[in-house]
Homo-oligomer: A and B are copies of this chain.
Amino acid sequence: MQVNYPSHANIVEVGPRDGLQNEASLLHIADKVNLINALSQAGLQHIESGSFVSPKWVPQMANSDQVFANITRKAGVIYSALTPNLKGYEGASAANADTVAVFASASSSFSMKNINCDIPTSIERFTAVIEQAKKDNRPVRGYVSCVLGCPYEGDVSPQAVLDVTKALLDLGCYEVSLGDTIGVGTALKTKKLTDLLISQISINKLALHCHDTYGQALTNVLIGLQQGINTFDSSVGGLGGCPYAAGASGNLASEDLVYMLNNMGIETGVDLQKMVHIGQEISDVLGRKNQSKTGIALYNKVN
């Protein structure tokens, strides 16, 4: 079986948002700014840098406006923000986020518990955001959560993922990131899901957002690469845990992803050694264990 892997892959670094949002410790603004600046210096081209949500719900993201105001913008790098509604969008716009992201779910129960409304209502709520973003010439990325399983419903049907993905693309999202929010996906499920999506959606509008809770994230990325997908979300140091199991991994660690891609001759533009140091430093600042296997191995390498 011969596979034509892509020559280049895009990494969307979600550590400063999706990662930090799921860490127990609150960071100082300066630490967040340093993290984002270090990531841009390591070659990341798309850095999810904050979220404009109520600080009541997500205290970790309370100061995203100040983070955006203080980062050193590197030419060509996309600094994006999560915007759940029009009020959030206005904050992101004022902060001059390059792109914004909206967040839907393929699981109705998860949607209710996570953003307090059913799936159709969530799509409706995003309509206003996307309309305004269009006027402002600001690209909107879509997220779909629970694409390979839900903590409340268990299995999620590929058709449900297709429906919400199409709805977000129809509204005007330039890309939809398929999130295995609880990391339960395995290779065959990823294959079946992407088979269906690819049959109806242009592959360059799809990204994979794999979690490593069960150690499966890279196998799912590998299937994605074999399917022709070449945009992947990951988080330096594996920032972000799992709310359903103490000590478990959350986001796929960027270092582990870059290690694989670099060694497969798939260009990422990312400096792995710099990433390893960023992952260890932010883990130390947060007082949590580095969740990147590559990070631990390279940082502590003897010879």
| Bound Cα distance from A227 to B1, whole angstroms | 8
When the two chains form the complex, which single residue of B212, B227, B244, B259 contacts A302, counting CB atoms closer than 8 Å? B244
Taking CB atoms, residues of chain B closer than 8 Å to A263 are: 184, 186, 188-189
Known contacts: A242-B297, A244-B302, A297-B242. The answer to whether A222 contacts B1 by CB under 8 A is no
Interface string of A238-252 (1 = CB under 8 A from B): 000011111111000
Taking CB atoms, residues of chain B closer than 8 Å to A3 are: 1
Asked whether any CB of chain B lies closer than 8 Å to the CB of A56, the reply is: no
Instruction: Tell me which residues from 143 to 193 in chain A have a Cβ below 8 Å from any Cβ of chain B.
Output: 151, 183-184, 186-189
When the two chains form the complex, which single residue of B151, B188, B242, B260 contacts A265, counting CB atoms closer than 8 Å? B188
Q: Which of A33-41, A101-109, A288-296 contacts B (4 or more CB under 8 A)?
A: A288-296
Q: Which of A23-31, A44-52, A65-73, A213-221 contacts B (4 or more CB under 8 A)?
A: A213-221
When the two chains form the complex, which single residue of B151, B247, B300, B303 contacts A151, counting CB atoms closer than 8 Å? B303
A214 touches B297 (CB 8 A): yes
Taking CB atoms, residues of chain B closer than 8 Å to A18 are: none
A248 touches B303 (CB 8 A): no
Least CB distance, A228 to chain B, in whole angstroms:
10
A303 touches B186 (CB 8 A): no
A293 touches B219 (CB 8 A): no
Q: For this complex, into which size category does the number of interface residues on chain A fall?
A: 35 or more
Taking CB atoms, residues of chain B closer than 8 Å to A219 are: 218-219, 222, 260
Taking CB atoms, residues of chain B closer than 8 Å to A297 are: 183, 213-214, 242, 244-245, 248-249
In the complex formed, the residue of B with least CB distance to A257 is B215
Instruction: Tell me which residues from 4 to 42 in chain A have a Cβ below 8 Å from any Cβ of chain B.
Output: 5
| Bound Cα distance from A227 to B244, whole angstroms | 35
Taking CB atoms, residues of chain B closer than 8 Å to A242 are: 297
| Bound Cα distance from A212 to B260, whole angstroms | 12
Taking CB atoms, residues of chain B closer than 8 Å to A247 are: 296, 300
B245 touches A215 (CB 8 A): no
Most buried by B among A188, A219, A256, A302: A219
Asked whether any CB of chain B lies closer than 8 Å to the CB of A135, the reply is: no
Question: B-contacting residues of A (Cβ < 8 Å)?
Answer: 1, 3, 5, 151, 183-184, 186-189, 212-216, 218-219, 222-223, 226-227, 242-249, 253, 256, 259-260, 263-265, 292-294, 296-303
Contacts A188-B263, A215-B292, A215-B293 aside, 9 further interface pairs with beta carbons under 8 A come to: A1-B227, A186-B260, A188-B264, A213-B293, A215-B256, A215-B294, A216-B256, A216-B259, A245-B300
25 A-B pairs whose Cβ atoms sit less than 8 Å apart in the complex? A1-B1, A5-B188, A186-B259, A187-B264, A212-B215, A213-B297, A214-B256, A214-B259, A214-B293, A214-B297, A215-B215, A215-B253, A215-B256, A215-B294, A216-B259, A218-B218, A218-B219, A219-B260, A222-B222, A222-B223, A245-B298, A245-B300, A246-B300, A249-B296, A249-B297
